[in-house]
Structure 1
Amino acid sequence: MTQITTHVLDTSQGKPVVDMTVFLYQYQNNNDWEAIGGGATDDDGRLPDMLGEDAVLTEGIYKLKFATEEYYESVGINTFYPYVEIVFYLNKGEHYHVPLLVSPYGYSTYRGS
């Protein structure tokens, strides 16, 4: 089963990002993005289920959008990035774990396991 998960860590504070809003989009042929899922990170900074149980992901281009400014405002810190978008290819039948390491003035990502 194809699945997309994420994990967000705040490297400036050395802890998981709790309650960050994350949106999942699928690229459409007409140069638009369709919102297909999302949620908020849990107490460990993880979002293990962005889609309903019956969702079927097809091969294509997807995007995760992380509400970084919303998070940093909630902890009283200014940030340079209002949000972070990660665009990636998805092949059917694989698991995709897309972590985000974030700080107020930088971020990095990679394909996790």
Structure 2
Amino acid sequence: MNSHLTTHVLDAATGAPAEGVAVVLAAASGDSVVAETPGSIIAHGTTDADGRAALGPEQLPAGDYTLTFLTGAYFAEREVDTFYPFVTVTFTVEVADDGSSRHYHVPLLLSPFAYSTYRGS
């Protein structure tokens, strides 16, 4: 099965892929993230040795979603202090009239005290 959504986490402090970061894909509702509600979680996984993870079904329905990266646990395992216990990225999936949708890639560039993300390809 091909995943509709992938991510790649790079640890900017070490210049290496961030292996072992737990990631949760969930539906979002209004202004609040509902990742803590069991019914809203769609998929979860952990980044591999290359810092990559594929999550979810072949295609997500149109709507708003969140990717939550459990960064606090990642840094704690490495005995590194961090300001961010987790990073949540909220994004919108669009589906064309014919039912098709592009692949979604959401990279995360991570350090203990900063992060950035963008719409990848």
Kindly indicate whether the alpha-carbon contact (under 8 Å) linking 2:105 and 2:120 is maintained by their aligned counterparts in 1.
yes
- Aligned-pair identity in percent equals 42
For the pair 1:44 / 2:50, whether they are aligned, the reply is yes
| Equivalent position of 1:100 in the other structure | 108
Unaligned stretches of 5+ in structure 1?
none
Deviation at 1:27? 2.1
Root-mean-square deviation over aligned CA pairs: 2.0
Alignment counterpart, residue 73 of structure 1, candidates 64, 73, 76: 76
Deviation at 1:13? 0.5
Alignment counterpart, residue 35 of structure 1, candidates 32, 41, 62: 41
Secondary structure at the residue paired with 1:64? strand
Task: Give the TM-score, by structure 1 length.
Answer: 0.89
Residues 28-54 of structure 1 show CA distances to partners (whole Å, capped at 9, x for unaligned) of 46x663111010000000002x125xx
> Which amino acid in the other structure matches residue 43 of structure 1?
A
Report how many residues are paired.
110
Kindly indicate whether the alpha-carbon contact (under 8 Å) linking 2:75 and 2:112 is maintained by their aligned counterparts in 1.
yes
